[in-house]
C-alpha cells in the first residue's frame, strides 16, 4: 500500500517506512540528521501555533538549468522562487526555463542521440553507469531526502527510509534490464530471414509532478536510459531542487553530456514547448487529467509523437463485512492520508459495509485525531504541509463543498497551526456518490466514507467514476477478493494492502487515469520502437 493491515502496510516501499510513518516514538533514523530533535510526543491535531521550523541539514547547490552536461542560466535570465511549504518562505531562486531553453535542451539531446556515445554504447556499459548512479544515490541518501522534504513538505522519515532507497532500487532494476533488451527471429512462410529489432525511440520528453519528485524522476529516466534514449526532463515548478541534484550525480557516474537535460519552468511555457516540439520523439507525462489532455493535444498537433500518460484517480477502498475493523481502519487511514493525501492513487472513496459502518467511522475518527501533524523534519511526524497555497486553498474548498453538500464532518476540516500549508486530517461520513468530494480528485488529507449493502452494489458504484487508476480491497474471503479483482476497472488492485510500489510491478490506469505503464518490464515498451528486417534467402538449408 488475510494479513493484518499493520503487517500488510509494512511491505510498502521498504519495510521500515510504514512503521516510521505510524510510530510517534520512532528511533529508526535517530542521529542521522544533526540538530533534529530525537523524538516527539504523540499529540492530537488541536489548533496551536507551530514551533519554529527546524533548519534543514542541507545546502541548495544547484538552481540553474542542466543542458548538455552544464549548469546554465535560462536564456531570458529569469528565475522563480521555490518555497518552503512549512512557512511559505523562499528556499532559493531557480532558473526559469521557457521555449528557448527547451529548444537548447532538445538540440543537445538530439546531438547526443544521433552523434553521441549513449545509444551506441554497449548495453553492459550503460548498465554499469546506472548502477554507479544508484551507488551515489545511496551514498547521498540523507542529503537528498532532506532536500526533498524541504522543497516538498513530505516527512523526512518517509523520504529517507522509503522513497530515496526506492529511487536507487529502481535504477538498479533498469540497469539490470539494459543488456537484456533483445528482439526476435520470426519464422516466415517464404524463404526470408526475418528479424524483429527493438531500438531506442530517440529524444524522450518527460514531465514530472511535484508529489513524488524523485520517484517520478526514476520511473521515467530509468527505463528511458536503459533503452538507450536521450532525455529532456521538465521538473514541476514547485519542486525543482532534488532532480537537479541527482542529475549532477548521474553525470558524476559517467553519463555523457547531452543525454539527460533538466529544465525547470512552468507548464504553459516550458511544458507546452516540450510537448509540442517537433524534434522530440516521445513524451511521458504524470499529472492531472486536465493537463494530460492538453499535453496530448499539443503532441498530436506537432509531430504525432507517442504519449504515455499517468493521470488522476479517485480510488475506491472497499472494506467488506468480514474485515477486522481495527486493521481495516489502519489500512484505510494509510491509503488516504499517506503523503498528505497527495497521491494520485489515494484510497479517497472509502466504501464500508453497512453492518460495520458506524463502528468503522468512530474508529477512523479516533485514528485521525491521533495523526501527528507538524514539521516534517521532526521525528515521528506523520503529516507535513500541503505543497503550496494553491493546493491548500483547493483542499479547503473541497472541505467546504462537503459540508455544504450535506456530508457529516467527523474530524478536521480546517487549517492546522498559524502558518504554512498544514491541514488537519479530515473525515466525512454519510457521503453520497453525487457529492463533489466523492467524484473529484481532492489530492489532500480528506477521507470520504461511503456505506454499501452488498458486493454487486459496491462494484457498480466503485466503477462509476471517470477514473480507473487503483483500488484497495480488505476482506478475509478469497471469493470476494477474486470477484473484486476482476470486476474493478482499474490498473492496480491491492488486496489487504495498499501502495505497494515494487520496482517490478507495472503501474498505470484505465479510463481517464491515463494509458501506458510505469515501472516493471512494461515501461520499457514506452521507450522502444520495433523494426522488422527481412532478408531474402537463396537456397536456404532450412526456414
The span from the CA of 227 to the CA of 501, in Å, is 22
- pLDDT (0 to 100) of residue 219: 98
For residues 430 and 414, membership in a common domain is answered with yes
Q: What digits encode the pLDDT tens for the residues 513-529? A: 999 999 999 999 999 99
Supply φ then ψ for residue 510, to 5 degrees: -100, 170
Whether residue 220 is found in the same domain as residue 345: no
**Arithmetic mean of pLDDT, 16-25:** 40
Chain segment 198-217, per-residue pLDDT in tens: 999 999 999 999 999 999 99
Whether residue 217 is found in the same domain as residue 127: yes
Output the nine-digit C-alpha cell for 422. 498544514
pLDDT tens digit string along 96-135? 999 999 999 999 999 999 999 999 999 999 999 999 999 9
DSSP state of 423: B
Is pTM beyond 0.85? Reply is: yes
Q: Which of 96, 310, 330, 518 is catalytic?
A: 310
Same-domain check for residues 291 and 353: no
Domain span at residue 482? 315-503
pLDDT at residue 541 in the model? 85
Q: Does residue 102 fall inside a structural domain?
A: yes
Grid coordinates in use for 263? 529544465
φ, ψ (nearest 5 deg) of residue 105: -65, -40
- CB atoms under 10 Å from CB of 435, counted, come to 20
Residue 352 cell numbers, joined: 464500508
The percent of residues in the chain predicted with pLDDT above 70, rounded, is: 91
Is residue 235's pLDDT more than 70?
Answer: yes
Beta carbons within 8 Å of 171's beta carbon, 6+ residues apart: 130, 131, 133, 134, 137, 218, 222
Report angle CA 186, 191, 193 to the nearest 5 degrees: 40
What proportions of the chain, in percent to the nearest 5, are helix, strand and coil? 40, 20, 40
Active site residue 414: no
Q: How many domains does the chain have?
A: 2
Based on the domain organization, do 270 and 408 belong to the same domain?
no
Mean of the per-residue pLDDT values for the chain?
Answer: 92
Does 484 reside within a domain?
yes
Asked if residue 242 and residue 98 are part of one domain, the reply reads yes
**Together in a domain, 123 and 256:** yes
Which CATH number does the domain housing residue 338 bear?
A: 3.40.309.10
Q: What is the mean pLDDT of residues 311-321?
A: 97
> What's the count of helices (H) and strands (E) in the chain, helices before strands?
17, 22
What was the pLDDT predicted at 49? Answer: 63
Return the closest-CA partner of residue 490 out of 475, 512, 474.
512
Does 363 lie in the same domain as 299?
no
Q: Are residues 229 and 376 in the same domain?
A: no
pLDDT tens column, 245-266: 999 999 999 999 999 999 999 9
What local confidence, expressed as pLDDT, does residue 14 receive?
41
Backbone angles phi, psi at 410, to 5 degrees: -90, -40
Is pLDDT at 46 greater than 80 in this prediction?
Answer: no
Per-residue pLDDT tens over the stretch 367-412: 999 999 999 999 999 999 999 999 999 999 999 999 999 999 999 9
Amino acid at each position: 500500500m488475510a494479513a493484518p493491515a499493520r503487517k500488510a502496510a509494512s511491505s510498502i516501499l521498504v519495510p521500515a517506512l510504514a512503521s516510521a510513518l505510524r510510530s510517534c516514538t520512532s528511533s529508526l533514523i535517530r542521529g542521522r540528521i544533526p540538530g533534529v530533535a530525537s523524538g516527539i510526543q504523540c499529540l492530537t491535531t488541536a489548533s496551536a501555533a507551530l514551533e519554529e521550523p527546524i533548519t534543514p541539514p542541507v545546502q541548495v547547490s544547484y538552481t540553474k538549468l542542466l543542458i548538455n552536461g552544464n549548469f546554465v542560466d535560462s536564456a531570458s535570465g529569469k528565475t522563480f522562487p521555490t518555497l518552503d511549504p512549512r512557512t511559505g518562505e523562499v528556499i532559493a531562486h531557480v532558473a526559469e526555463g521557457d521555449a528557448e531553453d527547451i529548444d537548447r535542451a532538445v538540440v543537445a539531446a538530439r546531438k547526443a542521440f544521433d552523434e553521441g556515445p549513449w545509444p551506441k554504447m554497449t548495453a553492459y556499459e550503460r548498465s554499469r553507469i546506472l548502477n554507479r548512479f544508484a551507488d551515489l544515490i545511496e551514498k547521498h541518501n540523507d542529503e537528498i531526502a532532506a532536500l526533498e522534504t524541504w522543497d516538498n513538505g513530505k516527512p523526512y522519515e518517509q523520504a529517507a527510509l522509503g522513497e530515496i532507497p526506492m529511487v536507487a532500487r529502481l535504477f538498479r532494476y533498469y540497469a539490470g534490464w539494459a543488456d537484456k533488451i533483445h528482439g526476435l527471429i520470426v519464422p516466415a512462410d517464404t524463404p526470408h530471414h526475418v528479424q524483429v529489432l527493438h531500438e531506442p525511440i530517440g529524444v524522450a520528453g518527460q514531465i514530472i509532478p511535484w508529489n513524488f519528485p524523485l520517484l517520478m524522476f526514476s520511473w521515467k529516466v530509468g527505463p528511458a536510459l536503459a533503452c538507450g534514449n536521450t532525455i529532456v526532463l521538465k521538473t514541476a515548478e514547485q519542486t525543482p531542487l532534488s532532480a537537479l541534484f541527482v542529475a549532477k550525480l548521474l553525470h558524476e557516474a559517467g553519463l555523457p553530456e547531452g543525454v539527460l537535460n533538466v529544465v525547470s519552468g512552468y507548464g504553459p511555457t516550458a511544458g507546452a514547448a516540450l510537448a509540442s516540439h517537433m524534434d522530440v520523439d516521445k513524451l511521458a507525462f504524470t499529472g492531472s487529467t486536465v493537463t494530460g489532455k492538453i499535453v496530448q493535444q499539443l503532441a498530436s498537433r506537432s509531430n504525432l509523437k507517442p504519449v504515455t500518460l499517468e493521470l488522476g484517480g479517485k480510488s475506491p477502498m472497499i472494506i467488506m463485512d468480514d474485515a477486522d475493523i481495527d486493521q481495516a481502519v489502519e489500512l484505510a487511514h494509510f491509503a488516504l492520508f499517506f503523503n498528505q493525501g497527495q497521491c494520485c492513487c489515494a484510497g479517497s472513496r472509502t466504501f464500508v459495509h453497512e453492518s460495520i459502518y458506524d463502528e468503522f467511522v468512530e474508529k477512523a475518527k479516533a485514528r485521525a485525531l491521533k495523526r501527528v501533524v507538524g514539521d516534517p523534519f521532526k521525528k515521528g511526524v506523520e503529516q507535513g504541509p500541503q505543497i503550496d497555497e494553491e493546493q491548500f486553498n483547493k483542499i479547503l474548498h473541497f472541505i467546504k463543498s462537503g459540508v455544504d453538500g450535506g456530508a457529516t464532518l467527523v474530524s478536521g476540516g480546517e487549517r492546522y497551526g498559524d502558518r504554512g500549508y498544514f491541514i488537519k486530517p479530515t473525515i466525512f461520513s454519510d457521503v453520497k456518490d453525487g457529492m463533489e468530494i466523492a467524484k473529484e480528485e481532492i489530492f489532500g488529507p480528506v477521507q470520504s466514507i461511503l456505506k454499501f449493502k452488498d458486493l454487486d452494489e459496491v462494484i457498480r458504484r466503485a466503477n462509476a467514476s471517470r477514473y480507473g487508476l487503483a483500488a484497495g480491497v480488505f476482506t478475509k474471503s478469497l471469493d470476494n477478493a477474486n470477484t473484486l479483482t476482476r470486476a474493478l476497472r482499474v490498473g492496480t488492485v491491492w488486496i489487504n494492502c495498499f501502495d505497494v510500489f515494487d520496482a517490478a510491478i507495472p503501474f498505470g490506469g484505465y479510463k481517464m487515469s491515463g494509458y501506458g505503464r510505469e515501472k516493471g518490464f512494461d515501461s520499457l515498451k514506452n521507450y522502444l520502437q520495433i523494426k522488422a528486417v527481412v532478408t531474402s534467402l537463396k537456397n536456404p538449408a532450412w526456414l
